[in-house]
Amino acid sequence: MSATSHTTATPHTTAETTYTVRRLTVPVPGVREFQRAYEQAVPNAPYDEVNGLLRKGAPWSDMVKLIDDRAPNGFLIYFRNDVHPVMQAAGDPADSIAYLMGNHVTAERMFRYDPRVMLYAPLHTVIWEDSDANAWFTVDQPSTQFSSFGIPAVAEVGVELDRELAKLFDVLGLEVPKPLATP
């Protein structure tokens, strides 16, 4: 299934886009157990080092090297939100941790064509528990999001992200969803 996209706009008017996205959900051993494995495979973004490169006006090639060195599986965690304590206070017992996971070097390869790609970069992921205490990992398929812009170069990076996500699923010992496993 490929994403369908339709955008209606003329200069200086409001635009509307309708498209289809594929959400992928796979079972994991447990929320906190999987959190440890996930955060080991996807380390925190090295903000201090990134900011140091920006402060000294380093060339982009230095940023690429830094991120390649720090993201062994292609992705970094930019934001973590452990929603469990707050939701538990409201009486909701399910455990859940939401993340923004991505790679700003990869994002730049799309941003240059259309800054709106930042709606989906970094990717949103969530480790969560259902009402039967089963644990899951969920992410929207990148190619279905990025193809919605109707820009071939952006769509190509979305497909590359599908492949990177498939590799990450494999590293984490998860079943690779069929939509990610197809070339």
Residue 103 inside a domain? The answer is yes
pTM of the model: 0.90
Q: Identify the domain containing residue 39 by its residue range.
A: 27-177
Using CA atoms, how far apart are residues 12 and 23, in angstroms rounded to an integer?
33
For residues 149-180, one letter each, b for 16 or more C-beta atoms within 10 angstroms of the residue's C-beta and e for the rest, the string is bebeebbebbebbbebbbebbebbebebbebb
Residue 21 inside a domain? The answer is no
Residue 60 inside a domain? The answer is yes
Neighbours of 24 (CB within 10 A): 20
Phi and psi, residue 122, nearest 5°: -75, 165
Using CA atoms, how far apart are residues 54 and 45, in angstroms rounded to an integer?
14
Domain count for the chain: 1
Phi and psi, residue 12, nearest 5°: 65, 30
Q: Which CATH number belongs to the domain containing residue 42 in this structure?
A: 3.30.310.70
Residue 183 inside a domain? The answer is no
The angle formed by the CA atoms of residues 51, 56 and 61, to the nearest 5 degrees, is 80
Residue-wise pLDDT tens for the chain (183 aa)? 444 445 555 677 888 889 999 999 999 999 999 999 999 999 999 999 999 999 999 999 999 999 999 999 999 999 999 999 999 999 999 999 999 999 999 999 999 999 999 999 999 999 999 999 999 999 999 999 999 999 999 999 999 999 999 999 999 999 999 999 875
Q: Return the biggest CA–CA distance within the chain.
A: 52
Using CA atoms, how far apart are residues 47 and 114, in angstroms rounded to an integer?
24
Mean pLDDT of the chain: 94
